[in-house]
Structure formats: C-alpha cells, structure tokens
Amino acid sequence: MIRLENLTKIFETQKGSVIAADHITMEVPSGEICILLGPSGCGKTTTLKMINRIVPPTSGKVFIEGEDTSGMQTEDLRRNIGYVIQQIGLFPNMTIEENITAVPRLLGWDAKRYRERARELMDVIAMDPNIYLNRYPSELSGGQQQRIGVARALAADPPVMLMDEPFGAIDPINRAVIQDEFLKMQQALKKTILFVSHDIDEAIKMGDRIAIFRAGRLVQLSEPDDLLAAPKDEFVESFLGDDRALKRLNLVRVGDVVSSDIGTVNPGDTLATALKRMDEYGYQLSILMVNEQNEPVGMVPRSVASLTRGYCRDHFQPLPGTIHMGDSLRKATSIMFAEDTTWLPCIDDNGKVCGQITQRAMTRHLGARFRAAARTATAPATGA
Amino acid sequence: MELIQYAWTNIDVLLARTVEHISLVGVAVGLATLTGVPIGIAITQSERVARVVLYVASIIITIPSIALFGLMIPILSVFGHGIGYVPAVIAVLLYSQLPIIRNTYTAINNVSPALREAARGIGMSPLQRMRQVEIPLAIPVIMAGVRTAVVLNIGVMAIAAYIGAGGLGTFISRGISQSDPRQLIVGAVAVSLLAVITDYTLLALQRWLTPKGLSRSAGAGA
Amino acid sequence: MLASMLQRFGRIMVLAAVFAAGAWTYATGFIDEFLWHWPDVQYLTMQHLWLTAMSGSLAIAVGIPLGIVLSRPSMARVAESIMQVLNVGTTIPTLAVLALSMSFLGIGTTPAVFGLFVATLLPITRNTFAGLTGISPALLEAAAGIGMSPTQRLFRVELPNALYVIFAGIRTALTINVGTVPLAFLIGAGGLGELIFTGIDLFDPAMMLAGAIPTAMLAIAVDALIAVIAFLVVPRGVNPNRA
C-alpha cells in the first residue's frame, strides 16, 4: 500500500515559485496498479518522483505499507522500491545479469543467491537466461531492454513499484505485447504500482485506478469504468476524449454481457425446427448451429429456413466469427462491424458455446452504466 | 643505407635514449593523471569552477613549450634546477592537465541523465554511482585524454633536449649543431616512430579498458 | 559572501605578488637588461609573425580545399585511408617535422616555412573533413530534395554548417604553428626562438625571458584572435558559443 499525504513540491525558479504538485493526497491499495494520468507539466511525474525522493518533496508525507518513509535513509528507501523509467537506463557497462542484480548486490546478497534470482527473473519476463544473461544492453532491442528494466526493478522483490512512462519509448506493436505480459506478471506478483502515463488508452488498459492530474492538482481518482462513465468536470471529460463510451468497450468483457439462454439447432434438426426455434427466441435473421460437443459449426439463415425444406446440416452457412468469453467488447464490436452481423456466438476456453452476444445487449449494458453514473454525479461527490 | 648502418652501430645509444624519452614522458604523464583525473571529477560539482580551471589549462597549453622552458629556467634556477629534466617534467605535467582534466570532466558530465536517475532510483549512494557507473563509462574518454597528452608530450620532450633533459631530441639537436644529417634523420624518424607506435599502443590499451558493453557504441576521442 | 571575500583577497594577493616580483626584478637590474633586448624583440617578432602568416595562409589555402575534396562522396573509398595517414602525421612531433624538412631542403626560410606548412596543414584538413562528413544526412537529403545542385549544397549548406569545426581546426593549427615557429630558428629561419635558444646557451635569463614572454603572448593572442574571428564569422544557428 502507498499513501500520499499533502505531498507538495514547489520549484523556485528565476520567474518565481512554481507549484508542481499541490497537496496531493491519495492512496493505492496493495496489489493494485494506479495510473497517474494527465497532460505534460501536470505534476504526475513530480508526484511519482517524490515517492523515491528523486525529486525531494517540499512538504507532505509518503507512507509505504503504512510506514512513514520520512525517517528512512534515502538509499534504503530507494532499494525497497522498484523503479522503471521511460529511458530504461540500463547500465551499458554492465551485463544483463549485472544490471538485474544491481539492487541485490547493493543490498549485499551473496553471489549464489542473486545469480539464482537473476535466472528466476528471466523466467518471469520470458527471456532465456542462457542466451541473454551474459549479453550487454546494447545488444538487445528496445522492447527487450525494457523487459530487463522491469526485471531490475523487481530484483529485490520490493512491495512497491514506481513506473515513469515505462513503455512510452517502445513501438506500438511491441508496447501492446509488453503491456499484456506485464499485466499477466502483475496477476501473479500483486505489486502495488504507481504508473505515470499520458496515454489514456494505456491507462484504461493497465490501471485498477486512474488518477487524473491537472496543473499540480489531483482532479479525480476513480476506477477506469467509473472515470469514463462519470468524469468529474469538463477538463477530465475533454481529456478522456469524446469517444469515451467507445473506450469503455475495452473495459467490459464479453462474459459480462453474454446472454446464456439461447436457442440453437443441431445438424440433424429440420429447417422447420430451426424456423420454429427462431420465432420462439425472437431471432430475426439467423440461428446458431452446434454439433454434439456443443461447438459452434455454422448458422442457418431465416431466409433459407423459411423457403427450403430439408435438414440444417445441408443448408447451413459459415459463421462470421466467434468470440471468447474473456475478450473485450471492443473485439466483439470490431468483428461485428467487419462481418456486418449483429450477434456473435461466445465460446469458453474449450471452444464450447456458452451463449451469444448481441449489439443490442452491448448498447444496453453501456447505456445503463452511463445513466446510473449521471444520477450519482448530480448527488454530492464522495471519495476521490 | 648509410642511415640504417648509422642507426645499427649506435643502436645501444638509440635504445638508451628511447628508454629515457619514454620514462620521462611516462613518469610525468603518470603524475599528471594522478592530479588531472581527480581535478576533472571534482570540477563536475561546479560549472563555474570548471570553466575557470579549463580556461587556465587551455591558456597553459597554448604557451609554446620552448617559451615555457624560457619562462621556467630563470625561476627554477633559483632552486638550482634551471636546466635538465626537472623543467621538462614540469612542462609535461602542465601540458597534460588540459587533455586529461577536460576529458575526465566531459566524460563524467556526459553520462546520460537517465542513467544517473536510474542509478539513484535503485538506491546507489553517490560514491557507488561514481564507482559502478560514472567512472567505468568515463574510462575510455579519460584514456583518450591520456593518450593525447602522451603523444603531445613526446614532442615536447624532444624539444626538451635543448635544455639538457636527454631523450631522443638529443640526436636532433646534435644533428643540427654538428650539421650531421645522419643523426638528424635518425633522431627525427625515431621520435616520430615512437609517437606513432605509442599512439597505437595506447589506443589498443584504451579499447581493452573500455567496458565490453560500450565497445560498439562509444567513440574513441572527445 | 565568503566566496566574494576570498576572491577579493585572492586578487589583492596576486597584485601584491606581481608588485613584489616587479620590485625584485627592478632591484636586480633585470628590467634594464630586459629592455636592452627590446629592438631585437621587435625585429624578431615581425619575422616570427611573417613565418606564421606565410605558412599559415598556405596551409589554410591548401588544407580546406583538400578537406573538401576528400569529403566528396566520390572520394569515399580513398578518403578513409588518406585520413589515416594524416592522423598518423599529426602525431609526429613538430621538431621532427622541421628536422626532416631541413635534412631534405637544407637551411633557411624555405625549409622552415615548408615544415610549418606541413605541421599546420594536417589539423586543418582533418577538421574540414570531419566537419563536412559530420553533417547529418537528413540535412543533405533536404538540400538535395529542394533542388540544390552539388555546388549549391556545398556552399549554402555544408560549409556554413561545418564552419565551426573548420575554425576549431584552424585555431588548433595556428596555435601549433606559432608555438613551432621558435624552433624554426634552429634551422636558420630566425624568429623569437633566437632569443630563447641563445639565452639558454649563454644562460642569460633576461634574454630567455625576452624571447619567451613575447612568444607566449603571441601564441595566446593568435589563439584568442582566431576565437574572436570564429565567433563573428560562424553563423549564429550553428555556433555553440553564440546561442
């Protein structure tokens, strides 16, 4: 857990004093990722860097795991906080192993222990220790270097990590991959993480909570879905963009919207049965056909069923696509738009059908949250 | 042919002079490194002091060596060391300061801010940062400074033969005064070869001292 | 506070030292002796400057065009090896250059000017080459892209952008030149070296200083002069000293 209390930074410049961070008070519960988000110069990076005193705070307190850090030695404090920066900052004169084990060596671990730890960490970041441990940073790609940067921060197993736009310098394709890997890693490691970003999409993807900064102040601290549904003021709203409803598509899983009570046909059913079942369930256009293992194999269109006689197995058409229960609504929408369809069968890990998702259900789900948020927004604001 | 024969018959003197030349320059640049590197590190703490120190060092290096000898001899003769190897070694010491101080200073100053921040962020103390990050990264550039100083001062030491410091310059000075082209050419070629060979040797040493991870990216000079 | 007090104290100490040195030299009759050399100093300074001007302008006139030619893409294959040779050349001590020049050309002004020319040429060519080849390829591509001919590119883009580095080369080269001119005396070309070397031979401190002080001051003055010229001539956008 990280708690900031009235953390303030005033820079004295020749043109007078500038308040870079103004009484920031917030808390990140253990095991969560909190994204500090805002335009450049909003104080998010200053706030982050005050936690490990790269920027010494003017006033205010930082608590880590409930303990006031102001009494700690700066070096001890930093060795117990993982730190990842955008420029990565791997030491070019050290091998990958020496880079990863930098903190354990500072902490005086014995050689056997930190070497083992280096191999463990390489497994965590999915890089082959035998290939990479003896290489130098200049021999690695940008994405690999940042993985090593993350490994170095994790080396002494600190409960808390600070990340300053860690994936900002990586190309978009690799960034998505490394974000996914990082999230997977976080599920196992459960670190408490403060993460600076200026990319709203990254924030929504990575954050359990998002803190929006503006001109040195913390404007709003909410869970991503709440943030998108109920921005606190016009600044937040404009920062989120006018497609914020679309951004929520990333946050909602297919499983949240799926309707599991669906009508299907088997290859052995007659087309008449198919037509009857479509009427029963109110399907306008088509019905899903599944095999004995309950796997989706095709669909029978209403036009065919109403004009032809015979069995489904002879008259079905291929499915436009299927969607996994864990996928985001964004992916579902994309497939629907691309294939010009209003519904998709949903499958589980084994490829069995467990329901279907329709455009109607999606818009209703999203709209319900917006209407609820609009109601609470008019009531006195609580928290954040 | 005649030259080679001359060189061969005088090989023992030639070698003795070469050793003398190398040891004088070596000792003086060695001492200069012991002072220049700490000064270069120290002045990274204050830009103003750095500017003054580098300015003074650059003025010193501008003064022609023979003029420096001319200035030092009257002063040093007060202590009874007007002529000989003492003014030569002092001149080499002084001339070496600029390349060594400047390279040390720039190398340490050029360590990227991101690297410095990373080193601070993982909890290295200032001394640890210096020892584990800044100095290893600066070594190739510092070595380049030492190399510049050595090559420069091989030439200065040749001139110092005129103030009785010995070394390979003796051949040149005798060659000129005795109008003996054999001594003149042997001396000039020997001192030139010494400079070129030393330059390459030190370059090899510089590469060898460069941390492995840097060898591809770091440039040789500064 | 403390710093400014120390500074003032330091200044007073320097003044006092200079004054004491002056008083001491005067008391020993040193200044009279020194002034006795004054006509020689004047004459030899002119000779000194003439040697520098002659060899220096020759070196600039040859060195810059040579650097430009070597930097052309068509020369790329030979340029590297020629630069290697020039790099080796710069490590050769100036006394050796003069000595070799003398052994082939004899005694007098010609071998001295030639030796000085060679010693001065190398840094100028080296820096011209480095300055021109160091220009970012994007800049050259942009210049070509807007339709400049190779000549236009050279004069409007490449040379102005390389000027700072070229001037740095000229400065180094001429400083070396002025510092080497005293050695030219050894091969019979005169210059302030005459006072220094003769002073050393005769162990006459006044004579040594009469040569050494103007030589040192000349070197510093030439160095400063070129720095000033570079400051004024190099376009502001590519002049780190004129941000």
ipTM of the complex: 0.82
| Spatial distance between the Cα atoms of B99 and B58, rounded to a whole number of angstroms | 9
Measured between its terminal Cα atoms, the distance across chain A in Å is 16
Q: Report the share of chain A in percent with pLDDT over 70.
A: 96
Instruction: Return the number of other C-beta atoms located less than 10 Å from residue A211's C-beta.
Output: 27
The secondary structure element, H or E, covering residue A54 is none
pLDDT at A47 over 90: yes
Give the residue from chain C lying closest to B185, CA to CA: C100
Q: Which among C102, C182, C208 has the least Cβ separation from residue B64?
A: C182
Q: Do B70 and C215 touch (CB under 8 A)?
A: yes
Q: Which among B62, B69, B82 has the least Cβ separation from residue C175?
A: B62
| Spatial distance between the Cα atoms of A365 and A69, rounded to a whole number of angstroms | 44
Strand partners, A353: A347
Q: Do B213 and A87 touch (CB under 8 A)?
A: no
Strand partners, A26: A4
Contacts of B133 in chain A (CB under 8 A): 91, 93
Condensed to tens digits (0 to 9), the pLDDT of residues B56-103 reads 998 888 888 888 888 888 788 777 777 778 888 888 899 999 999 999
DSSP class of residue B63 equals S
Q: How far is CA A93 from CA A122, A246, B84, B140, C140, in A?
A: 20, 46, 44, 11, 34
Q: Name the band, by pLDDT with cuts 50, 70 and 90, for residue A174.
A: confident
Task: Classify burial at B51, counting beta carbons within 10 Å of its beta carbon; exposed 0-12, middle 13-18, buried 19 or more.
Answer: exposed
Backbone angles phi, psi at A248, to 5 degrees: -65, -20
Selection from A220, A168, A161, A225 nearest residue A195 by Cα: A161
Q: How far is A146 from chain B (nearest CA, A)?
A: 13
Confidence (pLDDT) at B41: 92
| Spatial distance between the Cα atoms of B170 and B6, rounded to a whole number of angstroms | 15
| B66 touching C (Cβ < 8 Å) | yes
Q: Which among B122, B124, B214 has the least Cβ separation from residue A152?
A: B122
| Spatial distance between the Cα atoms of A360 and A181, rounded to a whole number of angstroms | 33
pLDDT at C124 over 90: yes
Q: In the numeric block, which tokens belong to residue A70? A: 């102001």
| A337 touching B (Cβ < 8 Å) | no
Q: In the numeric block, which tokens belong to residue B125? A: 């103390």
| Spatial distance between the Cα atoms of A210 and C113, rounded to a whole number of angstroms | 75
Q: Do B64 and C199 touch (CB under 8 A)?
A: no
Contacts of B71 in chain C (CB under 8 A): 208-209, 212-213, 216
Q: Which among C93, C183, C220 has the least Cβ separation from residue B66?
A: C183
Q: How far is B77 from chain C (nearest CA, A)?
A: 9
Residue B185 CB contacts under 8 Å (≥ 6 apart), including other chains: B3, B175, C99, C100, C103
Q: Name the band, by pLDDT with cuts 50, 70 and 90, for residue A16.
A: confident
Q: What is the pTM of this model?
A: 0.77
Query: What is the average pLDDT value for chain B, to the nearest integer?
Result: 87
Domain ranges (residues) in chain A: 2-248, 255-364
Measured between its terminal Cα atoms, the distance across chain B in Å is 42
Q: Do A91 and B128 touch (CB under 8 A)?
A: no
Q: Do B128 and A76 touch (CB under 8 A)?
A: no
Residue A189 CB contacts under 8 Å (≥ 6 apart), including other chains: A124, A154
Instruction: Return the number of other C-beta atoms located less than 10 Å from residue C78's C-beta.
Output: 10
Mean pLDDT of A183-199: 93
CATH superfamily label, A255-364: CBS-domain (3.10.580.10)
Query: Edge-to-edge, what's the strand order for the sheet holding A286-290?
Result: A264-265, A286-290, A296-301
Q: Which among C92, C183, C219 has the least Cβ separation from residue B192?
A: C92
Condensed to tens digits (0 to 9), the pLDDT of residues B23-48 reads 999 999 999 999 999 999 999 988 89
Give the residue from chain B lying closest to A49, CA to CA: B121
Q: Do B66 and C93 touch (CB under 8 A)?
A: no
Confidence (pLDDT) at B218: 39
| Spatial distance between the Cα atoms of C78 and A327, rounded to a whole number of angstroms | 61
| B222 touching C (Cβ < 8 Å) | no
Report strand pairing: A192-197 vs A160-164: parallel
Condensed to tens digits (0 to 9), the pLDDT of residues C175-208 reads 889 888 998 888 888 888 888 888 888 888 888 8
Q: Which among B156, B184, B199 has the least Cβ separation from residue C103?
A: B184
Q: Name the band, by pLDDT with cuts 50, 70 and 90, for residue A69.
A: very high
Give the residue from chain A lying closest to B133, CA to CA: A91
Give the residue from chain B lying closest to A135, CA to CA: B213
CATH class assigned to A2-248: alpha beta
Contacts of B121 in chain A (CB under 8 A): 52, 54, 78, 83, 85, 89, 162
Highest-scoring range by mean pLDDT, B21-25, C19-23, C100-104: B21-25
> H helices within A215-292, ranges in order?
224-229, 234-240, 244-248, 254-257, 271-281
Q: Using the CB atoms, write b or e for A156-177: b if 16+ within 10 Å.
A: bebbbbbbbbbbbebeeeebee
pLDDT at B222 over 50: no
Query: Edge-to-edge, what's the strand order for the sheet holding A192-197?
Result: A81-85, A160-164, A192-197, A33-37, A209-214, A217-222
- Chain A meets chain C (3+ C-beta pairs below 8 A): no
The secondary structure element, H or E, covering residue A252 is none
Instruction: Return the number of other C-beta atoms located less than 10 Å from residue B46's C-beta.
Output: 11
Report strand pairing: A353-358 vs A343-347: antiparallel
Best mutation target among B115, B116, B122, B139 (most A Cβ atoms within 10 Å) is: B122
Confidence (pLDDT) at A58: 94
| B39 touching C (Cβ < 8 Å) | no
| Spatial distance between the Cα atoms of B213 and A138, rounded to a whole number of angstroms | 6
- Neighbouring chains of A at 3+ CB pairs under 8 Å are B
Task: Classify burial at B79, counting beta carbons within 10 Å of its beta carbon; exposed 0-12, middle 13-18, buried 19 or more.
Answer: exposed
Q: Are C240 and C230 in contact (CB under 8 A)?
A: no
pLDDT at C1 over 70: no
- Alpha-carbon Rg for chain B, nearest whole angstrom, is 20
Q: Which of residues 71-100 of A touch B (CB under 8 A)?
A: 74-80, 83, 85-95
> H helices within chain B, ranges in order?
2-9, 11-42, 47-62, 65-77, 85-109, 113-121, 126-129, 135-159, 169-177, 181-209
Phi/psi zone of residue A220: left (φ > 0), alpha (ψ -120 to 50 degrees), beta? beta
Q: Which among A52, A138, A152 has the least Cβ separation from residue B217?
A: A138
Query: What is the average pLDDT value for chain A, to the nearest integer?
Result: 89
Selection from C46, C55, C68 nearest residue C159 by Cα: C68
Longest dimension (CA), chain B: 68
Residue C24 CB contacts under 8 Å (≥ 6 apart), including other chains: none
Selection from A140, A203, A142, A214 nearest residue A171 by Cα: A142
